[in-house]
């Protein structure tokens, strides 16, 4: 997967289209990413020590990686991620501005 934890992404389809956020977690097997504040849903929680009253909590669900695009920190545009080999090291690059990520 070319998107890593800590990258900034922009959602390109779905109810959060156009919004940007930071990747909190990556699920490579299911090809999903968890982005803070995206793909929110409400979950009913029973009474517990943490929540004595219980109630409804907003949580974010993982998002398909195909619905998100990498947001380049240099050119501030959504782009694809490529690789370049420099001194036997694999470095990620932005496909639009060809700068190192």
Q: What is the pLDDT of residues 7-39, one digit of tens each?
A: 999 999 999 999 999 999 999 999 999 999 999
- Identify the pLDDT of residue 48: 92
pTM: 0.84
Q: Is the pLDDT of residue 1 over 90?
A: no
The CATH code for residues 8-94 is 2.30.30.30
- Identify the pLDDT of residue 53: 92
Q: Is the pLDDT of residue 101 over 90?
A: no
As a whole number of angstroms, the distance between CA 8 and CA 75 comes to 13
As a whole number of angstroms, the distance between CA 59 and CA 82 comes to 32
Domain edges within the chain:
8-94
């Amino acid at each position: 997967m070319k998107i890593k934890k800590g990258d900034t992404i922009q959602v390109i389809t779905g109810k959060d289209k156009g919004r940007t956020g930071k990747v909190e977690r990556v699920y490579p097997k299911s090809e999903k990413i968890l982005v803070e504040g995206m793909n929110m849903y409400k979950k009913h929680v029973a009474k517990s020590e943490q929540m004595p009253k219980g109630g409804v909590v907003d949580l974010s669900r993982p998002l398909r990686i195909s619905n998100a695009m990498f947001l380049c920190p240099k050119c501030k545009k959504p782009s694809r991620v490529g690789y370049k080999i420099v001194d036997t090291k694999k470095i990620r690059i932005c496909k639009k501005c060809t700068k190192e990520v």
